[in-house]
């Protein structure tokens, strides 16, 4: 259905051509190095031990197997360190940075462990440079208390904890030359770690050869592109909301709305390309390259248009109360869209799954509350509405966001 203020909309070319094909073009990978306030490193490995004690909760061993946790199963570990954390010598000659770990995520098959945000004081980074223990050696230890989106190892008691650690070392003291909190873990020659609690432990060996990429090379580009999408989507839907509420005489041909959306689209393009350039300058990479901008912009715009058209379908443009309802629904969608993109942007650079899920749940709850309030107010004034329910609207917004997040990941 045509927009009541814009007689004709551009067709939806992305839905016809298949925007996910963009992933096939995302083939740019460069060696990684970075320096930032928060630095994320990404390492792979293999499970070496799965230990489930006799005192574990019944069914724990079977649950781990069903999740794909077994000896030699692939491990993916990312951890984020705050580079400005002050250090102290607690045990000479090691320098310890208490609270330096601000995020981690360990995954083995369907099992996931993440940093416990309520126990940030229980984490640390310990650095040993040229430790005089024959032979002379360097070491880098990352330790933290964790949590599980699905309780497996931690236990279900109020005082049960999940302990995580990863240790990187060499045998010749040639890997690092200082005691800084951020060290390139890929430069070490040995790496191992474990995560465990009341119900058992998963130990793993890390893939290190003294020089592989460890900083997540895509984080900076993905973060910038998601921030750009957050601003783009919220601006477009906010403009749709503003003109949906207005009388027909305010913008009879839709020129003002088109201009507002065009301005937002131009800003998105500039921010999208800047994110890629910034990542490349810092030695990173972008699974969604600058050359994909036109297709990406068209796809996002088509998604926003479809959402707006759905909310405006059947509107009685001469009924102020009906227009106000549609505007409020569009405003709520704009806020959820912007908040979800922003949450994923933060997660790209600082992957703490629990925090991401909490922010997504919060943004969804805000839409549900605002949309229901608007519908109740409109119904009290006799407005007939046959569009998507608050839950359906929230689902549609999240689907738009998730599609673009997947594209940025290649």
3-state secondary structure of 400: helix
Res. 208: pLDDT tops 90: no
Query: Is 166:137 a contact under the CB 8 Å cutoff?
Result: no
Query: Is 229:236 a contact under the CB 8 Å cutoff?
Result: no
Average pLDDT, the chain: 87
Output the pLDDT for position 299: 95
Give me the DSSP letters along 218-261: THHHHHHHHHHHHHHHHHHHHHHHHHHHS-GGGSTTSHHHHHHH
Res. 342: pLDDT tops 70: yes
Instruction: Give the whole-angstrom CA distance, residue 314 versus residue 396.
Output: 18
3-state secondary structure of 28: coil
Q: Which residues have CB under 8 Å from 102's CB, separation 6+? A: 38, 80, 81, 82, 115, 120, 350, 352
Q: How far is CA 198 from CA 53, 101, 107, 201, 245, in A?
A: 8, 23, 19, 8, 57
Reading the block at residue 175, the tokens are 């890997």
Mean pLDDT of 299-307: 96
Query: Which residue, among 97, 116, 96, has the nearest Cα to 105 in the 3D structure?
Result: 116
Instruction: Give the whole-angstrom CA distance, residue 154 versus residue 148.
Output: 7
Q: pLDDT band for position 352 (50/70/90)? A: low
Output the pLDDT for position 2: 40
Res. 312: pLDDT tops 50: yes
Mean pLDDT of 371-388: 96
Mean pLDDT of 69-91: 93
Query: Is 212:274 a contact under the CB 8 Å cutoff?
Result: no
What pairs with residue 139 in β-bridges?
128, 169
Q: pLDDT band for position 310 (50/70/90)? A: very high
Output the pLDDT for position 215: 57
* Segments making up each domain of the chain, as ranges: 13-28+217-408, 38-206
Instruction: Give the whole-angstrom CA distance, residue 408 versus residue 400.
Output: 13
Query: Is 187:210 a contact under the CB 8 Å cutoff?
Result: yes
pLDDT digits (tens, 9 = 90+) for 107-146: 999 999 999 988 767 899 999 999 986 678 999 999 999 9
Reading the block at residue 28, the tokens are 């740019």
Instruction: Give the whole-angstrom CA distance, residue 349 versus residue 262.
Output: 29
pLDDT cut 90: percent of the chain above it? 69
Mean pLDDT of 276-284: 85
Output the pLDDT for position 161: 93
Q: pLDDT band for position 23 (50/70/90)? A: very low
Res. 191: pLDDT tops 90: yes
Give me the DSSP letters along 78-139: EEEEETT---B-SSTT-EEEET-EEEEEEEETTEEEEE-GGGGGG-EEEEEEEE-SSSPEEE
Instruction: Give the whole-angstrom CA distance, residue 247 versus residue 232.
Output: 25
Instruction: Give the whole-angstrom CA distance, residue 134 versus residue 381.
Output: 82
Query: Is 141:167 a contact under the CB 8 Å cutoff?
Result: yes
Output the pLDDT for position 209: 67
Mean pLDDT of 235-250: 96
Query: Is 196:162 a contact under the CB 8 Å cutoff?
Result: yes
Instruction: Give the whole-angstrom CA distance, residue 353 versus residue 115.
Output: 8
- The verdict on pTM exceeding 0.85 is no
Output the pLDDT for position 362: 96
Reading the block at residue 199, the tokens are 């119900």
Q: Which of 46-50, 78-82, 155-159, 341-345 has the lowest mean pLDDT?
A: 155-159
Q: pLDDT band for position 59 (50/70/90)? A: very high
């Amino acid at each position: 259905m045509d927009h009541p203020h814009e007689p004709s909309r551009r067709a939806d070319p992305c839905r016809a051509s298949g925007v996910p094909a963009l992933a096939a073009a995302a083939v740019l990978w460069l060696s990684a190095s970075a320096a930032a306030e928060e630095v994320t490193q990404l390492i792979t490995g293999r499970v070496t031990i799965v230990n489930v004690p006799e005192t574990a909760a019944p069914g724990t061993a079977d649950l781990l197997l069903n999740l794909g946790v077994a000896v030699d199963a692939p491990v993916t570990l990312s951890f984020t360190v705050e580079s400005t954390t002050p250090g102290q010598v607690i045990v000479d000659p090691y320098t310890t940075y208490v609270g330096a770990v601000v995020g981690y995520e360990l995954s083995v098959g369907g099992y996931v462990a993440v940093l416990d945000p309520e126990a940030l004081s229980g984490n640390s980074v310990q650095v040993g440079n040229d430790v005089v223990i024959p032979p002379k050696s360097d070491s880098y230890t990352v330790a933290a208390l964790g949590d599980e989106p699905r309780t497996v190892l931690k236990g279900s008691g109020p005082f049960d904890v999940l302990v995580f650690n990863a240790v990187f070392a060499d045998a010749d003291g040639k890997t690092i030359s200082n005691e800084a909190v951020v060290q390139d873990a890929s430069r070490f020659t040995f790496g191992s770690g474990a995560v465990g609690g009341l119900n058992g432990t998963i130990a793993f060996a890390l893939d290190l050869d003294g020089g592989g990429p460890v900083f997540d090379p895509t984080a900076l580009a993905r973060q910038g592109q998601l921030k750009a999408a957050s601003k783009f989507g919220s601006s477009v839907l906010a403009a749709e909301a503003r003109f949906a509420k207005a009388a027909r005489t305010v913008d009879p041909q839709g020129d003002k709305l088109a201009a507002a959306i065009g301005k937002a689209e131009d800003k998105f393009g500039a921010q999208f390309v800047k994110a890629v350039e910034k990542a490349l300058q810092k030695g990173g990479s972008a699974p969604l390259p600058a050359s994909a901008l036109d297709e990406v912009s068209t796809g996002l715009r088509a998604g926003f248009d479809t959402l707006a058209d759905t909310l405006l379908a059947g509107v009685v443009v001469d009924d102020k109360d009906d227009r106000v309802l549609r505007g409020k629904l569009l405003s709520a969608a704009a806020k959820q869209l912007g908040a979800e993109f922003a949450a994923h942007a933060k997660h790209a650079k600082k992957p703490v799954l629990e925090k991401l899920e909490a922010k997504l749940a919060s943004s969804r709850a805000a839409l549900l509350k605002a949309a229901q309030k608007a519908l109740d107010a409109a119904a009290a004034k006799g407005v007939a509405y046959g569009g998507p329910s608050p839950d359906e609207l929230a689902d549609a917004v999240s689907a738009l966001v998730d599609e673009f997040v997947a594209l940025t990941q290649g």
